[in-house]
Amino acid sequence: MAQRLARRRLARGRIVRNPAQAYEALQAELLDRDHEVFGVVYLDNRHRIRGFEELFRGSIDGAAVYAREVVKEALRHGAAAAILVHNHPSGHLEPSAADEKITARLRQALELIEVRVLDHVIVSVEGYVSLAELGKL
């Protein structure tokens, strides 16, 4: 049932206007994980969802993220914008230095193909944090 809800919330064509909507769409997809998962919501130029990809899985406190794969999927989806997302199974919401570093790296890589990174949303059982809202994007 949670998977059906997650698919409906991430349905192609649904508009994502703010981090709270991104969190709402992703919580059923990411909150029940006991390991870190990194994904991307790919959007068109009007911020309608073109697709969601869970790209990388890690351990309880980290996941290796490769810019090449993120760029490849952005091109496959025909994205104009992207929202980076990952969970913190520990429940801790504070973005780490590694979170900020990968955000900057992915932003640079996606800019080369003219895809805007709108946000990086971290989700946990405690809620969510938006790097854009924190001024770290």
Which one is predicted more confidently, 23 or 13?
A: 23
Write out pLDDT tens, residues 82-98: 999 998 888 888 898 99
Write out pLDDT tens, residues 51-73: 888 888 776 566 788 999 999 99
Write out pLDDT tens, residues 96-125: 899 999 999 999 999 999 999 999 999 988
In which residue are the tokens 């130029």 written? 45
| Dist. CA 82–CA 71, nearest whole Å | 10
| Dist. CA 14–CA 8, nearest whole Å | 9
Q: What is the pTM of this model?
A: 0.86
Compute φ and ψ for 22, nearest 5 degrees.
-65, -45
| Dist. CA 121–CA 75, nearest whole Å | 21
Of the candidates 98, 77, 91, the one whose C-alpha atom is nearest the C-alpha of residue 128 is 91
Q: What is the pLDDT of residue 14?
A: 75
